[in-house]
Structure 1
């Protein structure tokens, strides 16, 4: 036992001495690298490459996934912005149309002096009476009264049917019948003016009927414009109602009835003008016909 223990101690001592010698040799200044060191470095480098390759691959996949996610998010944000820009373009176009309409109305109200304009906005349209009535945001508080004419920049659209304090109901020309008439005229530079009554609306053709009185000249032509005459005492003269599209004689051939295309779009109303006539109804130059409400 003693022999083997001494032998083991001797081998351990020799090993320590060799290790110290090798460490000292490796720490001393040398120009070259020994073969064992080269082999060790090559083996270590190869192992590092083998280990690092999958790590780099997995890391690259993670980076690609992150890039794809970022690209997807950026694409989603860009699509959202494009959608917003499209909405803004539509909004800008609508604002431009409204601005042009208001500018046209302002020009009209500056050039016509025989009535006081009350600017109003359409706030609703009755579903059950879609072609007959709309509601505006001005009422008695703003000076609106029943039977006042209502127009747009293009022409007349109807009259005030009823007025509350802060809103009013407008009866459109498309809702007129034989009991709601407008004293109208075709003014001519040459020849006699034509007088008559606008009464009724044909929903199918979307034309007004203009019944020409017997005393008027009967040669009404297509394309002639029809205006309010102002003779009824409620509407001022010169409000454009529409233009003649067709002329039909009555069954006896004594009078004519013209079909009038409204000048204003009765189905697309946003801003209107309520006509507060400056003339008193007592100054009317004629009396309305029997059954006429004197407009």
Structure 2
């Protein structure tokens, strides 16, 4: 194959030299002969074919080289894009964490008679979050049974079991938890909030024992009243979804959507009184 290419190259060179000689000779005569013109056409055809072949080979080589470069560039872009996506997720998580801490800080400033111990949720106690969950702090941080768990969004529940470096918290959606509560707008403060599950098994809460003349309505905010000395007053619980009258029991009740999504929380703050003698658990 190489020998054929070498022979073709030699032929083209000879024809080119011959053609140049004819051009020089013809230039002095002003007009080509029939033979000279035929030779020129032949040489030009061979040169065109040879150049076209070389151009195609060169273009193919450049294409292969470019494909390799593009592939490398795409791989670098993919890695870079993956890195930026990871950074964006970290940034988003940091923003959300800062928002949670900011909300908690505002509450702690208003309720400075308490200390607040942060704890991560490390497991579920039971079949779901409605049964309770395990947190990463316990007696070694001053946590005791009966203390309150909350986030910056509102009330989570109550500590029901304590170990040296772990505790179990039952959420507000558990029917075993009862919280003295009031309607923020009307200040009706004789309500009790308990866990409630709707027909679709959605975990909610219910406030009952409200008087029939209570002005509670859809959209009202329910919060802890502080009665009983267990739950600090002013912790938001949720928003009223619907109101119901029970004339036989001579009272009103309301279904409440908790502000905290118990299935999505990642950490809680345990409310610890600075003077434990003021609180009876």
User: TM-score over 0.5 for the alignment?
Assistant: yes
SS in 2 for 1:175: coil
Residue 180 of structure 2: which of 171, 180, 183 is its match? 183
What is aligned with 2:115? 116
* Structure 2 unaligned regions, length at least 5: 1-12, 21-42
Change (3 A) 1:115 1:58: same
What is aligned with 1:260? 256
What is aligned with 2:9? none
What is aligned with 2:144? 145
What is aligned with 2:99? 100
Q: Offset of 1:69 from its aligned partner?
A: 0.8
Matched, 1:233 2:208: no
Change (3 A) 1:114 1:246: farther
**Contact 2:189/2:225, CA 8 A, preserved across alignment:** no
Structure 1: how far apart are the matches of 2:249 and 2:60?
Answer: 92
Over the residues paired in the alignment, what is the CA RMSD in angstroms? 3.3
What is aligned with 1:209? 206
Structure 2: how far apart are the matches of 1:130 and 1:121?
Answer: 14
Structure 2: how far apart are the matches of 1:131 and 1:147?
Answer: 17
Change (3 A) 1:254 1:279: farther
What is aligned with 2:80? 81
**Contact 2:195/2:203, CA 8 A, preserved across alignment:** no
SS in 2 for 1:174: coil
TM-score norm. by structure 1 comes to 0.68
Aligned length: 241
What is aligned with 1:61? 60
**Contact 1:157/1:173, CA 8 A, preserved across alignment:** yes
Change (3 A) 1:98 1:188: closer
Moved more, 145-154 or 238-247: 238-247
| Bigger Rg, which one | 1
Change (3 A) 1:39 1:264: closer
What is aligned with 2:245? 249
What is aligned with 1:200? 195
Matched, 1:172 2:168: no
TM-score norm. by structure 2 comes to 0.71
**Contact 2:173/2:194, CA 8 A, preserved across alignment:** no
What is aligned with 2:17? 42
Q: Give structure 1 regions of 4+ aligned residues with deviation exceeding 4 angstroms.
A: 38-41, 52-57, 279-284
SS in 1 for 2:98: helix
Moved more, 144-153 or 263-272: 263-272
Q: Offset of 1:97 from its aligned partner?
A: 1.3
SS in 2 for 1:70: helix
**Contact 2:131/2:171, CA 8 A, preserved across alignment:** yes
